[in-house]
Chains A and B, each alone.
Chain A
Amino acid sequence: MAVKEQRTIDTGTGFRHPLYQVMLETPGLTVGTAVLDDLLSWGLTNSMWIFPMATSCCGIELMATAASRVDIDRMGVIVRATPRQADVMVVAGTITTKMAPRVLKLWEQMPEPKWCIAMGSCAISGDFYRNLYSVVPGIDTFLPVDVYVPGCPPNPEALMHGMLRLQEKVKRQKQGETVTPEPNPDLLKITRPSVPRLNDPTRSTIQTIEQERASTNPTADEACAPLVVAATEPPPNLAPLTAADFEGLLKELGVTTLPPDGPPIIPAAQHLELARRLKGLGYHLLVTIVASHWPAGKGRKGADAAEVEHYEVAYALRTVGQGSRVATWAVKVPVAEPVLTLSGVFAGADWQEREQYDLVGVKFAGHPDLRRLMLTENASIHPLRREFPADAAAAPWR
């Protein structure tokens, strides 16, 4: 079979081999290599093994996609647990600033050719976490994304559709076509983000604060009347803040006034004694430890103006079994002073206190291992302090 078109042949040294001329003259061989190329791209598109970079909710839907009902195996998509055997990284879930370097490392471990799918709003844009201190506003700030699958989380069918679109893209790229998204002006109008990204030159960064406000806040007509609160007794099925036996114990320790707007405040010196005695009374279960930061001039009801800057650390214990009761108390310390640790009495206080130290900044004296729990070890912020803004985005990404 004669080749119809005359092609220019590269006369480089590699092609001077006598066998090469024979190969060229053999009828049908060039057609054969073209067929072989098609075969390769057919194989490539139908065996895209994915590496599940599943961090949160979308990971569950990724599992559902691989499980019985949708069964993505039918398309040759197999979930591999190691990046070295995978072609496609599916980033399913929120990527935090602590996790992002690891994601990049795993991406670099994947062999070429490789593709990336951003699954869900968090991976695409950071969703409603995007302006917070610990979340990366979209993985395309550090990874080349091929297909975006929108949704929160996307249905398994949506992820499957995303996989099909990726197969299409790979096939067309192999055939030498450029793959650009179809320009649909109506669609663009809807999908244009209200807050533009700084790193994306194709999107306008000029948007005034008024425009931003107008795009998110409801108008006066939309806002409705406040919810009417019925003046009834509290539902009887909720555990009260203080139980009777706990009040008796407080009286023994010299605390007589029970404030109406929160747990009773215990002198810092008696705090451990109270915990030990409550444990003896049957409050075996450590429920939680909550620290809160109060700037100067802010405090419990009626004492606002006289307050200096302080922390309030509240504790909750619970009895076990029928008729479970909760006991809560609080300790108030100025910002410079530490609170005595509870980890000698309750082993679980260890992590709770580390978390409160990390996020609020209150220090615990005598703690065996007071390191940060949530943020990275070298972080310099205590984000749950009142002066820390809620929309302080992470530095390297914004």
Chain B
Amino acid sequence: MTQLTVSARPRPNPYLPIDSLDPEAELMLLHFGPQHPSTHGVFRMDLYLDGEIIVKAVPYVGYLHRAVEKLCEKLTYVQQTPIVDKNDYVAPMTNEQALVMVFEAMLKLEVPRRARWMRSLFAELQRIASHLLAIGTFSLDLGGALGGGSTAFIYCFRERELILDLFEDVTGSRFHYNTHTIGGNRHDLPVGWGAKVKAALELIESRMPEFAALTIENHLFQQRTKGVGVLEGALALELGITGANLRASGVDHDLRRDAPYSAYDEVKVKVATASGGDCYARSIVRVEEVKESIRLCRALLDGMPEGPINSGKPVKLPVQTKIPVGQTYVGIETPRGELGTWVIADGTQNPYRLKIRPPSLHALAALPYILPGQTVSDAVAILGSLDPIMGEVDR
């Protein structure tokens, strides 16, 4: 079991009323968001400032609450994959996978081996695209010190487009793919697609050193991120933070290795961790995961088995799929952490209650703990390094 270190630094109490903090200091209230280019969507914080230092931070979410859980109660099981695509709109592939896997577990459906390998391949390609976007926008958040930050952003988007093209070849859309179905996949890999993937992976890999020089090896980047926004492992676990944010705090936990699903029991994952818990550690982990995902994609492509991609015969509108009475939770490792779905089924073709466990919501819950004591300019860096996607925070 992972050893958790507890530091001497006391944990801030986010519930203290603002009057009790320091009556002498004339605190300034700064509204940050809900429309701000660095809030990664619509997110608002009330920052109480003593000069430039944050004394207390109160986050507000819900500006993109689209009532997905209520909508899922209305729709049948097979109608729900296009809905959950829109939750984490930077990694839609893993959203669909998390949803259909819980239905398959409840139906006790055996997914064909080829479909499982394809799912893992899609997830890894999606992870590359998602992390590229995360690091690109994070550089943009860091701003001026990195030459406006746009250089890294432009490079990241150039590489990300390669992956979106690959997905477009398979599914026909750049994102919101709707390619996972209950029991398998909808689209088979086109002829000659593997060669395209390898060419794209080679291109991305050849550009990684250049990209690392721009970001994590850059002196200015390190100055701006090292020691900023330190999140301890024990607190991260209590808050339910998962994914790269947790691994950057020194906790060696990755569901792809620890509770393997899809093809991860056959293709082993090397988990990247860092010990700092700061913004820099979170960036390193993401860059390392991109490299590991490139390796995994190659392994998955080389060993891609032949066979059917769906457990049933291809059905057009299986509106009558009914799930027997019961409750199940299944979580998978998305680029942002553990995305899970808890389904309460009552034997009909609609779920009685469907709860999506978004990793980003838990990541944002850390803000009241790690922001006090930091400066306003670092607040933007810390928020960007947690890589929240408001679509899945608010759902």
Contact = CB atoms under 8 A, between A and B. Distances in A.
A235 B111 contact: yes
B147 interface: no
Interface string A310-337: 0000101011111111101000000000
Nearest to A284: B237
Contacts of B308: none
A350 B364 CA distance: 12
B69 interface: yes
B13 to A, nearest CB: 9
A290 B318 CA distance: 28
Nearest to B107: A229
B64 A94 contact: yes
B252 to A, nearest CB: 6
A124 interface: no
A241 B182 CA distance: 21
B37 A81 contact: yes
B130 to A, nearest CB: 11
Given A60-B133, A238-B105, A383 B67 contact: yes
A234 B108 contact: yes
Contacts of A64: 157, 160-161
The dominant DSSP class at the A interface is loop
Contacts of A55: 41-42, 63-64, 390
A375 B62 contact: yes
B122 interface: no
Contact of B240 (A61, A348, A369): A348
B277 to A, nearest CB: 15
Contact of B83 (A128, A284, A383): A128
A282 B355 CA distance: 25
Interface in B266-318: 311-312, 315-318
A8 B55 CA distance: 68
Closest 4 CB pairs of A and B: A67-B157, A57-B89, A348-B239, A262-B327
Contacts of A227: 182-183, 312, 315, 318, 320-321
B39 to A, nearest CB: 10
Interface stretch (B215-223, B253-261, B379-387): B253-261
B106 to A, nearest CB: 9
B70 A383 contact: yes
A59 B154 CA distance: 16
Given A106-B35, A223-B319, 4 more contacts: A55-B63, A63-B157, A284-B238, A287-B329
Interface stretch (A34-42, A132-140, A179-187, A200-208): A132-140
A361 interface: no
